[in-house]
Amino acid sequence: MNENANNTDSTRGEHVAPSAPPAPPADDKLAELEQLISELKAQVSALREGDFDAAALEQRLSELNALAGRAAAALDSTTR
């Protein structure tokens, strides 16, 4: 058998990138976005009502910032 007869990407040592997983349906994306917005509202309300020392406030703001980043990514994904 000829060694070059089966000249595929895998036999040449090249790796073919796997295809991206299918995008979730728009309804799922919207539900995720709504959930994240609800979490943002709850955390902002807790900040307004709470009396935090500087370290606790910094931690809460860091968590809120991370959540806002997730919401922004979900919004971007939803609008595509």
Find the DSSP H helices in 3-53: 26-49
Tell me, what's the pLDDT at 4? 52
Tell me, what's the pLDDT at 26? 74
- Give the CA distances from residue 45 to residues 13, 55, 69, in Å, rounded to whole numbers and listed in that order: 56, 18, 18
Condensed to tens digits (0 to 9), the pLDDT of residues 30-57 reads: 999 999 999 999 999 999 998 999 999 9
Share of the chain above pLDDT 70, in %: 70
